[in-house]
Chains A and B, each alone.
Chain A
């Protein structure tokens, strides 16, 4: 592969859109070409800079509440006008969309958001911002990026391996997402301050299923932990136990 051909595919490479075969040839070329590697790194850094710069605006709580109220109120307003058949139709549609939009009991809504964050991270071309299997590299990376610190477990003699971490947000609250691998499964561990979630979310050490993901959550030392993944319940629970021991 020549540099000229490679350069034409650079955007697709950075965007994670190169087909498997081309990707192998591309990465093989990068190993031997400093110039192309430098360009690829620059492109990746600019993409990441746009991502950071793009996350700029935060919606108000009032807007969220207003929209939730609007969606919930419509069927009742219709009753006043006696449009019984429209109410039935609206109720069916509302029930369906509420399922998607997460207007469920509060803890359930948090579960959904956690599952969404896990899927969104894995769907991205760069699931982690700090790529390292060393907890002594990953933990310090979060310094200054999130307003708390936490302990990562020792993984020796376990099936889990640390892939890296990234900063994430749950309801405008910054937190840490750590991604682990067990066999071919990936499991996310989310850590957030407990205070903003406390009033809405009181479950502790609950192992549940959400959209076929296993999810466990608990609170420890003022932090709220979530472990979520498509691995079996025993794996999710096993990783959760390691974190509980690390934080004890």
Chain B
């Protein structure tokens, strides 16, 4: 099944729980089957499947809990943050510590975690991410910019703890 492994990995990152991830993937394929008539041939099948999975997650108990009180207002203004120059020390530490990076990713708010994974791990284009998350491309860019800044901060904390 194309996408099966990717969808499961993404589901596990969203739910942070194996059983919930399995339920989510199963629900995704069931919904895809049921709603296949809504898929328009020629449009992006991958984005369509990820959108089904994400929507199923957002309506799950964990999804509702993760997004409760979460504000994405600052992400939606379409402006990217100024980019800060890297320091050699931070680059070295990040590269050498995959576990710290994973923990930092886990601790990000779900809307930052998901956009980073879609962009960096799945290598989706901005348009594909826009289709998957149902947000404008400008918001994709600004949210990515903030997510990356947030990841650096979270990673900094991880490395200080370690």
Contact = CB atoms under 8 A, between A and B. Distances in A.
A46 interface: yes
Interface string A132-154: 00000000000000000000000
B141 interface: yes
Interface residues of B, number: 47
B102 A53 contact: yes
A16 B122 CA distance: 13
A106 interface: no
Contacts of B117: 50, 54
Contact of A53 (B3, B85, B101, B119): B101
Contacts of B101: 49-50, 53
Contacts of A101: 1-3, 29, 32
Interface string B1-38: 11111001100110000100110011001101110110
Contact of A50 (B18, B82, B120): B120
A10 B13 CA distance: 27
Given A49-B94, A56-B9, A102-B2, A12 B141 contact: yes
A58 B18 CA distance: 10
Contacts of B30: 70-71
B91 A169 contact: no
Given A11-B145, A64-B4, A97-B33, A59 B22 contact: yes
A17 B126 contact: yes
A11 B145 CA distance: 8
A67 B126 contact: no
A89 to B, nearest CB: 9
Contact of B83 (A10, A47, A96, A126): A10
Contacts of A10: 83
A226 to B, nearest CB: 15
Interface in B104-130: 105, 116-117, 119-121, 123, 125-126
Contacts of B105: 50, 53-54
A45 B91 contact: yes
B141 A39 contact: no
Given A53-B105, A101-B29, 12 more contacts: A15-B144, A17-B126, A45-B95, A50-B120, A50-B121, A51-B123, A54-B9, A54-B116, A54-B121, A63-B25, A71-B30, A93-B33
